[in-house]
Amino acid sequence: MTEINRGILISFMKKGLKQQEEGSFGDLLRSVMQKLLEAKIIRYDRPDRLSYGYHIIAMDDKRIGQQFCECYAWLLFNGVIIPEPGLPNFISSNNFNVYCLTDWGRQWIENEDEQLPEYEDGYVQFLKSSINNIDDIVIQYISESIRTFNNNHIFSSSVMLGASAEKLFYLLAIALCDSSTDEPFKKSLQKVLDRRDLPGLRESVSDQIDKLIHLKKIPYSIHEGLKDSLFSLFNNIRIQRNDAVHPLAARISREQLRLLLVAFPHVCKKAYDFILWLKANKT
């Protein structure tokens, strides 16, 4: 049996909301419980009584009921759902038990490729399963970034995300250096690597990728969107991380940080596709 945690429940609530865009907490609970049963994540001897929401607390782990309530509150707090508007008080007697999806919520549930930062195990498993032999340090940094994000330590999460991105960038630069047959470039890039000069490294890597694309040395399937996605993400991460550690800035947007965490797995895979290609080819 899979251990239930908040990330798993949020991911299944996302599926439940696709079938039920409005209703009550009990309606959503029944839908999610059914999906958990079908996925063999939970075991319940009376599936015929799923209509009674309180029976969730009768399962083996009584914390699941509390976790369901926490996840429902998460959906409300993050604007995925709102209490169903009604008359005469607009919000029907302040009844948070009845919900409807927001426009943002509809976008959220339709994004099938999104890796939920709220679901650390699933997020990390996606990286490990989609990228063979991903660097342990990259995983360590991004895991800590997700963990601190979910504990609402936004500054710490930004710093760890930045560290993970930098490690990935260094791995790419090293692969680019090792694969190159251009000795002057290799020596120049190695000096930048030795100095750990990140701005110089970004410039060198950017110029070399442009050169290799111009010379048609990299297949289109490898370089398609590589520079745009890679440098856009890294620049945004750098800005967030710098804001986190600069005492005069200290402005971090949780929403922007979440978007960067969502984007990271896909950019990471794109970078690793390039790294693996470089290891197999000389440029």
Domain ranges of the chain: 6-110, 120-280
Residue 60: which pLDDT band, with cuts at 50, 70 and 90?
A: low
**Separation between Cα atoms, residue 97 and residue 81, nearest integer Å:** 11
User: At residue 246, does pLDDT exceed 60?
Assistant: no
Distance, in Å, from the CA atom of 16 to the CA atom of 268, rounded to the nearest integer, reads 29
**pTM passes above 0.85:** no
Using 50, 70 and 90 to split pLDDT, how confident is the model at 52? very low
What is the layout of strands, in order, in the sheet containing 22-24?
22-24, 98-101, 81-83
Q: What is the pLDDT of residues 182-220, one digit of tens each?
A: 888 888 888 888 888 777 888 888 888 888 888 888 888
**Tokens 């745009």 appear where?**
228
pLDDT at 128 over 50: yes
Backbone angles phi, psi at 67, to 5 degrees: -65, -35
Mutual angle of helices 120-130 and 136-150, in 10-degree steps: 160
**87 vs 106: which has the higher pLDDT:** 106
Q: Is the pLDDT of residue 244 over 70?
A: no
